[in-house]
Amino acid sequence: MLLGFSGEVFSDETRVVYQALGLKYTLSTQGAGAQSKSSMASGILKSTWWTLKNAGLQGDVKQQGGAFIINTDGEVLFGHQDAGSQDHTAINILLEKIGVAPVNFKASK
């Protein structure tokens, strides 16, 4: 059980839900926020190195995602569409939304 969360996590290999949610398809770096720990150049280098090490595991780099929390009745409790490659909901915001204690990343080094 990851971080005390016992719910279900889904993926969308056919991208039907991806399209229905209107998620973005772009190489934009829009949305770089405070949680970004590295420069864009450093991020590109790290991503390129990861891709070379894990050939075949990389998806479409233009496919931006999002974060959605949906209850068992189908009600969207939280939704965020990433505007670009650096626009992600902070992990602690997602944990808060599902009632899990935040993680202190500085303490985990």
d(CA 81, CA 22): 8
Most confident of 18-22, 38-42, 105-109: 18-22
Confidence at residue 7, expressed as pLDDT on a 0 to 100 scale? 77
8-25: per-residue pLDDT in tens? 777 778 889 888 888 888
44-91: per-residue pLDDT in tens? 666 666 666 665 556 777 788 888 898 889 898 999 988 887 888 999
CA distances (Å), origin 10, targets 29, 35, 42, 65, 99: 25, 24, 30, 13, 19
